[in-house]
């Protein structure tokens, strides 16, 4: 399992419209091969900052399949006008440690 984090700085004053657009955009994720779950998180310190967390089965489900899909084109259509800067994307794997 791989965690994608997308750091999203949106344009000032656009929070409500961005969240409405995201409610539509997130439906694109549900049908994707390798998609497991997602959460949109809103910063308590910075009103225009969101963190999108997406769990994928494997890295390639995001970097190959989603990034070359028609769903990504539609995703961008819905969301890119709200971005103050390009999203910063990073991928992680959980560290398995004894509790």
| Least spacing, CB of residue 72 vs a second copy, in Å | 19
- Per CB under 8 A, does 93 bind a second copy? yes
17, 47, 59, 67: residue in contact with a second copy (rule CB under 8 A): 59
By CB under 8 A, what part of segment 26-55 binds a second copy?
A: 26-27, 30, 39-46, 49-51
Inter-residue contact 41 to 53 (CB < 8 Å): yes
Q: Torsions phi, psi of 83, nearest 5? A: -80, 130
23, 47, 73, 84: which one contacts a second copy (CB under 8 A)?
23
Q: Which has the closest alpha carbon to 14: 55, 49, 65, 39? A: 49
Establish if 5 lies at the interface with a second copy (CB under 8 A).
yes
Across the strands, what pairs with 21? Answer: none
| β partners of residue 76 | none
Decide if 2 contacts 62 (C-beta within 8 A): yes
**Can you give the binding site for a second copy, defined by CB under 8 A?**
2-3, 5, 19, 22-23, 26-27, 30, 39-46, 49-51, 59, 90-95, 97-99
């Amino acid at each position: 399992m791989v965690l994608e984090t997308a750091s999203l700085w949106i344009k000032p004053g656009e929070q409500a419209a961005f969240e409405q657009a995201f409610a539509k955009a997130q439906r694109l994720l549900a049908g994707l091969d390798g998609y497991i779950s997602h959460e949109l998180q809103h910063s308590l310190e910075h009103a225009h900052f969101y963190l999108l967390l997406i769990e994928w089965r494997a890295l390639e489900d995001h970097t190959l399949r989603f990034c070359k899909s028609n769903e990504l084109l539609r995703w961008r259509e819905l969301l890119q006008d709200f971005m103050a800067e390009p999203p910063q994307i990073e991928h992680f794997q959980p560290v398995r440690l004894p509790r």
